[in-house]
Structure 1
């Protein structure tokens, strides 16, 4: 198995560091953190990250200065600046100081994770991605769009496929009804959660033919893909 991509998270707010680090680790990244510019500079040499998420407002120096000081030492390591400052001149300064992207606070974790993956892909540092997703005895091939469980093929509609794929991309994570509606249907979808419940029911009937139920309801929240309880 190849080594996972390494991400250095630099922010002086521990709660933000914890949330970002947890989300990245959940997605398979190796993560280290720093709370100051000086710590970031030393961590780059020791940790050798594939990407740096760098807050602009640090207690000892600006993130822009950290990027400038790293210079050739970071050897093309991409940087995503993270800041509450959203003025156009700040964004321009960030992107011209060596930044590859600029995310303003407050931000969506899903958006940040998507930007991390995009920047890694653009920089050629992303780990090769398999087209096959698997969970327990459930398999989904993104190239052929074939789905099987316990070796038995399962025919899905386009919507059922998108719903299962999103669940399999987030195993064991509780996904809210709003998240599922946004990712499986259009963002401006005008329907309600009853449509989601209907498709969850369709999907369960097809998957549960070949084993214990893997899609579980979390009352008042949404759904999760997890190992059936013994």
Structure 2
């Protein structure tokens, strides 16, 4: 399950957000202070919702820590009054009172297409399996270690293994909206995924030159770009 770290002072607001996000398939983690946020940093975090109180000067340094440890996670700022630095490097800014639907629309874009809601589900191809509930990827008995972004990219490939996805499809599905991503960045991450999978078996990623990527059991590269 994908996790969102929430740091707000209002307990009722946290409970409301937890309820809304659970219905969308997200697990929420409460962080009551900056130390809790730093302790929660892990690759399976897809977003941070951080309340910045009026007059706060801590937003910039806190976001820098989050960006450094979880560069692929989205940062959402809940700004109250004239919070200082709240907009700096934030992917999405909320000001109370806000419409929950707008927040949910943004968070839905952090999920790969077709992400399950609150049910255990497996995707597989050849000897590769992905558990969408635990976010564990395996090749046979070998566990494959991926970053959160690489997991989302592989997730998209596993949705339709034989379909060639172009780079724009990966950018749209796997990166937060509004983030500028070069095509070469997709190639680099595909290369990382390819090497992680090859540590446990033969290459499964087919590269179609000038088009994109798909999964293939045989040697299917047509002018490899990454890896």
TM-score range, shorter-chain basis?
0.3 to 0.5
Q: TM-score, normalised by structure 1?
A: 0.44
Q: TM-score, normalised by structure 2?
A: 0.44
Which structure has greater helix proportion?
1
RCO (CA 8 Å, sep 6+): is it higher in 1 or 2? 2
Computing the radius of gyration from Cα coordinates, the structure with the larger value is 1
